[in-house]
Amino acid sequence: MLLLKLEDSGKRTKSNQIVDGIRRKIESRDLLPSDRLPSTRRLAESLDIHRATVALAYQDLWALGFIDLRPGARPTVRERVPLAGASENKETPLIRWDLHVSLRSRRIRQSYLQYKALSTRGGSARSIIDFGSLDMDRRLFPVSAFRSCVNKVLRERGQALLSYGDAQGYPPLRETIAGRLRSHGISVNPGEILVTDGSQHAIDLVLRMIASPGKAVAIESPTYNVALPLLRFHGLRVLGIPVRDDGMDLAALESALGRERPALVYTIPNFQNPTGTNTTQAHRERLLSLCETYRVPILEDGFEEEMKYSGRVVLPVKSMDARGTVIYCGTFSKVLFPGVRIGWIAARSECLEHLLAIRRFSGLSTNGVLQAAMDEFCRNGSYDRHIGRMHRVFRKRMKGTLRELRKRLPPEWIEWSEPAGGYLIWLRLKPVPGPSPDWASLFPAHGLRVSPGETYFPSGRPSTFLRLSISTLDEEEITEGIRRFAGALNTIYGKGAS
Amino acid sequence: MLLLKLEDSGKRTKSNQIVDGIRRKIESRDLLPSDRLPSTRRLAESLDIHRATVALAYQDLWALGFIDLRPGARPTVRERVPLAGASENKETPLIRWDLHVSLRSRRIRQSYLQYKALSTRGGSARSIIDFGSLDMDRRLFPVSAFRSCVNKVLRERGQALLSYGDAQGYPPLRETIAGRLRSHGISVNPGEILVTDGSQHAIDLVLRMIASPGKAVAIESPTYNVALPLLRFHGLRVLGIPVRDDGMDLAALESALGRERPALVYTIPNFQNPTGTNTTQAHRERLLSLCETYRVPILEDGFEEEMKYSGRVVLPVKSMDARGTVIYCGTFSKVLFPGVRIGWIAARSECLEHLLAIRRFSGLSTNGVLQAAMDEFCRNGSYDRHIGRMHRVFRKRMKGTLRELRKRLPPEWIEWSEPAGGYLIWLRLKPVPGPSPDWASLFPAHGLRVSPGETYFPSGRPSTFLRLSISTLDEEEITEGIRRFAGALNTIYGKGAS
């Protein structure tokens, strides 16, 4: 006889109370495997409830695996297969994930933990002035103009945009991107564009295409720090080519090309991350010519192509690339919204076809809604207006930053070169007499976050460089930040003078 | 002396005319490297235009790499580095991409070409009835409800959503997903969820985490065809475990687990793609218990968890997984919008941390706008209403499909089993006396697209199976489609009877 007592409190449905009651009896072994439960009619009568309520409870118990149901027969208690969950030690995973995953996964997790620790060093207090982040100043975001675009495209083509889209990218957006690239001297058609989920995704796709055991990639040293763990994750050997004042050391590159035959040269010719360096036209020609000679493709990262606000920046390497040696990647993140996650690759179709196939099978496509909204935003002129504004604002902010640096920091402490655009200044600290200072805790103690140079070098060795980014800061914050920065350095370099 | 003639037509700016004029003279070698150009003042006087116009033209010529500019000196013509682009043969890429890319990239491109050919077989005429696509019926999309959500979140939190977001996923959406999973018996917290760019991306991340040379993955045979090229791309050996009427053959699985020690078992327990099979509670328990015994993780693909419209479907394997052996992935694509590209992984944090690190370095994060909009859509009840509607509509459509199949197709031609949800029916064609018919051209000739069975088997060998998907079709289209299908089969099987 099945004894169940239902409450009338109304807090739990009667059906749920039956489920819990029977479940408890099975778990406590008051009901044993093969025991038969009452028919729905019988149990409903004994509890004075509707038969459908019992039927619902039995369905749930079946879905939960406690009973078997057969048409025309009374339910029976199931024999459950013993599972590890039933044992005492529920908290320890049965699989040792750190040993089960590949070595490269273990390593990239370590890199992630380090990266995270670094970008939150000093806490997240509002009073911290953050020269470390290359996020964008969200106060400048043209949110409502973008919202109108999203609205418009969803109203006009919502059904199509929410269906599976073109794996290569929304065709009108590819047209728009090809048009913008033409304004930078790059001659491509929309069939040579692949839309990606941002620039990092673009780099990942290119590395996936070329990576195989033993292959190497030549990079600038220092370079974009988020690319380094990714290169290692791909099992690629990293050939760091020193960056001089005028860009990658081409003699060193040539000897690496001859000796190591890398599968790719990765370069950021404009406002290089982290050094802020722009290479000259002559440097770009020699770089391309070298890579043509050795038949090694270039991955040109044009992440801030649109941020040439000084007017003295030459055209991309890709603009000279008549024979398809350059894979170019760009993004909307560094002049507009990082969170929109839309970037692109421009490459010869013989190359792009491979990238497209990898893209298709590793994630289908970029969402259509934001692609179409971004396209609308470009076509209705909002993007050009926004770029104009960003140029005005950051020309002024960068000028202010350099002025404050000159005013407060004597050349005996630190030196830097002046960038022609972008958001980055790369500083070299002068040698300090005596034991090396604890830079890592110095800046947070002065209410500052800066990006330490060593994360940008493939070797990861301690360096005397710092990267300042002004991308999230306004003029007032910059002035106050440089004041604090000078104060921090004064505790190191000022001692001797005092 | 520099001879330039400017037009006054107003079609091209004077500055552009100067650029083009000088450029032509350099290209034709009327001007040679090291030749000096007139000062801006001199040229402006001789052309009777403003000096700033000449300065602008000189800046452009410098950016294009034709001249050198030095403060206080006259511009000189640059010696350009010879580039391959200058040679005759502009059309041939300098790099043989098909040889330069990795072997696996070459292979995945082949798969992509085959896949594309298959999904467009028979053309894209409107009159084709498409049982091949597992896209969704866009006529059912709740576009305007979703648009309101996008609007709301952009209005209220646009700046934050368009900045870099949480790599693990928008925290409120992770809460919502965890809540929905609880309704399927899966007990996870938001810290155990990783938001992905759709389900395919989730599978790719899991494979990236475990892949290393020599490793194997056990899969159902047949299985989701888009997973197959991806598995091969990862260099994973594929162990195909036959699917019986009740799901993966567990005896075959056990022997594979013992013999090959795969790094992962990939399974789709509900409405399996392509067979439509649901496994029972007992099958799921045995599967989990086996994998616990051999310490092999399960990747459970719950791509249609929400499409249980018959009411007779058991809970996910993950719901029993107390010890963290199951990695579960889900998506909003197969009940709502495929184009929104939002899916998720639920796994123990020891496992998830590795996936998060790979995700972070290979593409930063999923865009915030659509994550927040999707979250709003769930929270305001629209998602539940939509699911309710989808269940009503597809219960009816599936019933209609099965009724038409029974009515028009005798069991001597073809057989199938009835799914308890989802969009798929898997049919087995009976042997045909005589030479094998040309199935590939038969269906398009009858105005139909169906999905041939062989693409779902790892071997790729010809099969006698077909997959019908009703996901994009309404009742009228289904009725007409089955009529055509019967007509097509009649040309093969009806002959003997006539």
Each residue's pLDDT tens digit, B80-93:
887 876 565 667 88
Question: Which pLDDT score, from 0 to 100, does residue B311 have?
Answer: 64
User: Quick check: helix, strand or coil at residue B188?
Assistant: coil
Q: What's the CA gap between A292 and A287, in Å, rounded?
A: 9
Quote the pLDDT of residue B86. 58
Q: How far is A487 from chain B (nearest CA, A)?
A: 30
The CA R_g of chain B, rounded to the nearest whole Å, is 31
Question: When comparing pLDDT for B93 and B359, which is higher?
Answer: B359
Task: Centre a 10 Å sphere on the Cβ of residue A140 and count the other Cβ atoms it contains.
Answer: 17
| Partner-chain contact A150 B146, CB within 8 Å | no
pLDDT at B60: 83
Query: Per-residue pLDDT averaged across A157-183, rounded?
Result: 96
Q: Tell me if B63 and A363 make a contact (CB, 8 A cut-off).
A: no
CA atoms of A5 and A17, how far apart (whole Å)? 8
CA distance A159 to chain B (A): 6
* 3-state SS assignment for residue B310: coil
Residue B421's pLDDT is what? 87
Q: Which of A108, A279, A366 to mutate to test the interface with B (most CBs of B within 10 A)?
A: A108
Per-residue model confidence (pLDDT) at position B6? 84
Q: Average pLDDT for residues B93-107, to the nearest whole number?
A: 93
Shortest distance between the Cα of A432 and any Cα of chain B, in A, equals 35
Which of A102, A282, A288 lies at the smallest CB-CB distance from B212?
A102
Cα distance between residue A294 and residue A245, in whole Å:
25
Higher pLDDT, B479 or B6: B479
* Pairwise pLDDT comparison (B495 vs B32), residue with the higher score: B32
Nearest CA among B215, B210, B183 for reference residue B330: B183
pLDDT-derived band at A172, boundaries 50, 70, 90: very high
- How far is the C-alpha of A193 from the C-alpha of A200, rounded, in Å? 16
- Average pLDDT rounded to a whole number, residues A425-442: 87
pLDDT of residue B13: 85
Task: Indicate if the pLDDT at residue A94 is higher than 50.
Answer: yes
In angstroms, the separation between the Cα of residue A103 and the nearest Cα of chain B is: 8
Token pair listed for A119 = 């970008």
Inter-chain residue contact B209 with A101, CB threshold 8 Å: yes
User: In B83-142, which ranges are continuous DSSP H helix?
Assistant: 97-100, 103-119
CA distance B303 to B301: 6
Nearest-10 Cα torsion for A466, A471, A476, A482? 0
- pLDDT, residue A498, reads 42
| Closest chain B residue to the Cα of A170, Cα to Cα | B339
Q: What pLDDT is stored for residue B498 in this prediction?
A: 42
Q: What is the mean pLDDT of residues A217-245?
A: 96
ipTM confidence score: 0.91
* B464 DSSP β-pair partners: none
Query: Per residue in B440-497, pLDDT tens?
Result: 889 999 999 999 999 999 988 878 899 999 999 999 999 999 999 999 999 999 865 4
Residue A27 DSSP symbol: H
Scan for tokens 């009740």, then name that residue: B246
Q: Over chain A, what is the mean pLDDT?
A: 91
Host H or E run for residue B391: helix B382-408
Tokens of B135: 């896209």
Of A91-95, A279-283, B51-55, B343-347, which has the strongest mean pLDDT? B343-347
pLDDT at B123 over 80: no
pLDDT, one tens digit per residue, over B143-192 is 999 999 999 999 999 999 999 999 999 999 999 999 999 989 899 999 99
Average pLDDT for chain B:
91
Question: Which segments of A170-295 does DSSP mark as H helices, in order?
Answer: 171-183, 199-210, 227-233, 250-260, 281-294
Opening angle at CA B401, ends B398 and B405, nearest 5: 140
**What pLDDT does residue B382 have?**
96
pLDDT at A86: 58
Give mean pLDDT, residues B206-223.
96
Give the pLDDT confidence score for residue A236 in this predicted structure: 97
Q: Do A135 and B288 touch (CB under 8 A)?
A: no
Examine the pLDDT at A417 and tell me if it is beyond 90. Answer: no
Residues of chain A contacting B97 with CB distance shorter than 8 Å = 348, 350-351, 354
Chain B CB contacts of A348 below 8 Å: 93, 97
| pLDDT score, position A462 | 78
pLDDT reading at A473 higher than 90: yes
Average pLDDT (A124-130) is 82
**HSE-up of residue B487 (Cα within 13 Å, Cβ side):** 12
What's residue B121's pLDDT?
72
Interface contact A230-B362, CB threshold 8 A = yes
Which residues does chain A have within 8 Å of residue B59's beta carbon, measured at their own beta carbons?
311-312
Q: Please name which of A328, A369, A10 lies closest in space to residue A177, comparing C-alpha atoms.
A: A328
Calculate the dihedral angle through the C-alpha atoms of B118, B119, B124, B129, rounding to the nearest 10 degrees. 100
* CB-based contact A404:A233 (threshold 8 Å): no
Among B81, B148, B317, B332, most A C-beta atoms within 10 A, so best to mutate, is: B81
| Three-state secondary-structure class, residue A323 | coil
Who among A94, A160, A282 is closest to B295 (CB)? A94
Are A97 and B144 in contact (CB < 8 Å)? no
CA-wise closest residue to A341 among A313, A363, A315, A314: A363
What confidence tier does B270 reach under pLDDT thresholds 50, 70, 90?
very high
Per-residue pLDDT, averaged over A326-335, amounts to 94
Contact A93 B64 (CB under 8 A): no
B271 within 8 A of B314, measured Cβ to Cβ: no
| pLDDT at position B497 | 47
Q: Do A281 and B226 touch (CB under 8 A)?
A: no
Burial of B310-332, coded b for 16+ CB within 10 Å and e otherwise, reads: beebbbbbbbbbbbbbbbbbbbb
In chain B, what residues touch A160 (CB-CB under 8 Å)? 138
Tell me: pLDDT of A43 over 80. yes
**How many CB pairs (< 8 A) connect A and B?**
365
- Torsional class of A421: left (φ above 0), alpha (ψ -120 to 50), beta (otherwise): left
Distances (CA, A) of A63 to A272, A498, B312, B314: 58, 78, 8, 4
| β-pair partners for A242 | A221
* Residue B296, pLDDT above cutoff 90: yes
Q: State the pLDDT at residue B29.
A: 86
Q: Look at residue B89 in the predicted model and tell me its pLDDT.
A: 63
- Distance CA(B487)–CA(B404), nearest Å, equals 13
Nearest to A65 among B285, B338, B367 (CB): B285
Please indicate whether residue A63 or residue A111 has the higher confidence score (pLDDT): A111
Inspect the interface and report whether the beta carbons of A362 and B200 lie closer than 8 Å.
yes
